[in-house]
């Protein structure tokens, strides 16, 4: 396919295998943690600690990638740390060990995210970034379809054998790491400042960044503050009385729709504007959450879950393509890392807030409140002016 280079193919297949590894374990992670004595509260603390604290590392390592002018070492170490962290978690059933290994897993994502997305951006032009990031998201999310399917098949024949599932997930994880050795760093002509900086030095990019970047980031982070974990959607399906098989099936259906639509929506974003497709995705999100707030037949919730896949396809890769287009090329990893780091912190706060509202007032109020805020964010982006020389294709 035109514009899809060897590097893009390899990065996309690496992400596919890594997602197979991760999503094999996603449906059983809370079940396994409960089986070794973790309470719901402790599981929440574990996920919050891992996502928010380690999320900040995305900004730091993104900046280090820009400073060094290298992408590959961060990508390789990032994937390796994730695989080690996931597999080692089941070696010792102790909270301290679980916190350590889960953090190692998340640290791996922090190390690789900015550098990987910057390498994707380096392979693209401003005119086809939606296509490139959409293609990557399609293959990445295809792994999120295959992983749960493999888990369902294994657990059908070997019920509750969670430990072995963790070890089996190690195989696609290792394949992902090995495939990174077929990647090569581009020789860069940019002039880099050769200084390491402190762990939080990447925060200074906020002052250095173009005004349009700051305006876009404000909207993205307000959205992230109410965009809670997908686990709440899964819990909503469970509330309707669906069996675990149907619930996991709904999650697989969501990822399948996500994978199918990411690439074509990325291509469309390049033609009509990244901002327009992103806003379309937000309006789909509002519709899904308003639907989830209602009392509907169980099958309708599955349809809404499919629509949620369209939302993800229209926003996840598009947001990164948008950011990479409005940042200077030498700062791409820093710009994406700053966004991804704060997005992780906001996601933790969003999930905490949604959980509290759900507990106090019920699922309907929680989903409706989120939809109202996102409708406001959508309006903000509709009226946001992003006309600059570099970003003329974004509108």
Give the per-residue pLDDT at 124.
80
- Is residue 117 a contact partner of residue 320, using CB atoms and an 8 Å limit? yes
Show the CA angle centred on residue 78, arms to residues 75 and 333, nearest 5°: 55
Contact between 327 and 213 under an 8 Å Cβ cutoff? The reply is: yes
Strands (E), 122-254: none
| List of residues 6+ apart from 225 with CB closer than 8 A | 346, 349, 350, 353, 373
Please report the pLDDT score of residue 389 as a whole number.
40
Burial class, 359, CB count within 10 angstroms (exposed 0-12 / middle 13-18 / buried 19+): exposed
Compute the Cα dihedral for 386, 392, 393, 395 and give only its sign: positive
> What's the residue count for the chain?
395
Q: Write down the pLDDT at residue 4.
A: 85
Burial of residue 10 (number of CB atoms within 10 Å: 0-12, 13-18, 19+): middle
Position 162 scores a pLDDT of: 80
- Measured CA distances, 347 to 50, 225, 323, 342, 391 (Å): 12, 6, 19, 8, 27
Output the pLDDT for position 311: 95
Looking at domain 6-182+205-383, its CATH architecture is Up-down Bundle (1.20)
**Domain residue spans of the chain:** 6-182+205-383
Long-range contacts (CB closer than 8 Å, 24 or more residues apart) made by 149-154: 149/252, 150/20, 150/24, 151/23, 151/24, 151/25, 151/27, 151/28, 151/248, 152/27, 152/245, 152/248
CA distance 197 to 67: 9
Low-confidence ranges of the chain (pLDDT < 50): 191-194, 388-395
pLDDT at res. 390: 43
What's the pLDDT at 81?
A: 93
Contact in structure between 291 and 304 (CB atoms under 8 Å): yes
Show Cβ contacts of residue 310 under 8 Å, excluding neighbours closer than 6 positions: 257, 258, 261, 265, 281, 284
* pLDDT score recorded for residue 94: 83
Distance CA 129, CA 8 (A): 11
Asked if 334 and 63 count as a contact pair (C-beta separation under 8 A), the reply is yes
- Residues near 92 by Cβ (< 8 Å), separated by ≥ 6? 98
Spell out a b/e string for 306-315, using b for 16 or more CB atoms within 10 Å of the CB, else e.
Answer: bbbbbbbbbb
CA distance 51 to 59: 13
């Amino acid at each position: 396919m035109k514009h899809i280079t060897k590097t893009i193919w390899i990065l996309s297949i690496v992400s596919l295998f890594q997602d197979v590894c991760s999503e094999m374990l996603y449906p059983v992670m809370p079940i396994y943690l409960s089986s070794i004595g973790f309470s719901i509260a402790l599981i929440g603390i574990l996920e919050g600690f891992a996502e928010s604290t380690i999320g900040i590392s995305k900004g730091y390592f993104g900046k280090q990638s820009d400073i060094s002018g290298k992408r590959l070492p961060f990508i390789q170490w990032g994937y390796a740390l994730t695989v080690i962290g996931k597999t080692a978690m089941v070696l010792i059933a102790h909270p301290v060990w679980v916190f350590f290994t889960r953090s190692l897993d998340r640290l791996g994502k922090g190390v690789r995210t900015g550098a990987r997305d910057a390498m994707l951006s380096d392979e693209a032009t401003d005119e086809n970034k939606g296509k490139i990031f959409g293609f990557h998201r399609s293959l990445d999310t295809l792994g999120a379809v295959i992983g749960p399917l493999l888990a369902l098949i294994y657990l059908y024949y070997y019920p509750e054998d969670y430990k072995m599932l963790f070890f089996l997930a190690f195989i696609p994880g290792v394949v992902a790491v090995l495939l990174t050795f077929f990647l090569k760093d581009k020789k860069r002509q940019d002039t880099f400042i050769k200084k390491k900086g402190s762990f939080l030095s990447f925060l200074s990019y906020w002052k250095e960044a173009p005004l349009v970047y700051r305006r876009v980031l404000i909207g993205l982070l307000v959205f992230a503050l109410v965009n809670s974990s997908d686990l709440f959607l899964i819990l909503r399906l469970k509330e309707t009385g669906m069996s675990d098989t149907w619930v996991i099936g709904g999650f697989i259906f969501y990822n399948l729709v996500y994978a199918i639509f990411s690439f074509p929506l990325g291509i469309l974003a390049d033609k009509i504007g990244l901002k327009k497709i992103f806003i379309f995705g937000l309006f789909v999100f509002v519709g899904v959450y308003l639907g989830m707030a209602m009392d509907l037949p169980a099958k309708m919730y599955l349809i809404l879950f499919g629509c949620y896949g369209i939302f993800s396809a229209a926003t996840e890769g598009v947001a990164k393509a948008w950011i990479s287009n409005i940042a200077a090329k030498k700062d791409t990893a820093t710009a994406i890392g700053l966004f991804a780091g704060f997005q992780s912190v906001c996601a933790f706060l969003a999930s905490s807030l949604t959980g509290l509202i759900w507990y106090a007032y019920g699922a309907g109020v929680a989903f409706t409140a989120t939809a109202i805020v996102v409708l406001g964010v959508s309006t903000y982006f509709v009226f946001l002016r992003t006309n600059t020389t570099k970003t003329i294709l974004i509108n």
